[in-house]
Amino acid sequence: MRAKVHVSLKAGVLDPQGKAVGDALGRLGFDEVGGVRCGKTIELELKDGLSKADAEKRVKEMCEKLLANTVVERYSIEIA
């Protein structure tokens, strides 16, 4: 079973990396880009034997303890 965790900054939190990417795209002539927010995707290969519900619960615990800084970041989980 695989899990994907998508982590991004919460609304209102400054994103200097997104600003830098947006500025660079503008300098490269991509004027249609109005703004950029950067995040990260973490892919986990989970061991066999977990139900989908248990896998989601465990991955949520991982996010809360390590994978996301829940003060400034939000996350979503996909289990497949």
pLDDT tens digits for 7-61?
999 999 999 999 999 999 999 999 999 999 999 999 999 999 999 999 999 999 9
The pLDDT score that the predictor gives to residue 8 is: 98
In the numeric block, which tokens belong to residue 7?
Answer: 């982590």
Single pTM value for the model = 0.88
The pLDDT score that the predictor gives to residue 6 is: 98
The pLDDT score that the predictor gives to residue 64 is: 98
What CA–CA distance (Å, rounded) separates 47 from 29?
Answer: 46
> Please, what CATH class does the domain formed by 2-79 belong to?
alpha beta
Kindly list the domain boundaries of the chain, sorted by start residue: 2-79
What CA–CA distance (Å, rounded) separates 67 from 27?
Answer: 33
CA atoms within 13 A on the CB side of 18: 16
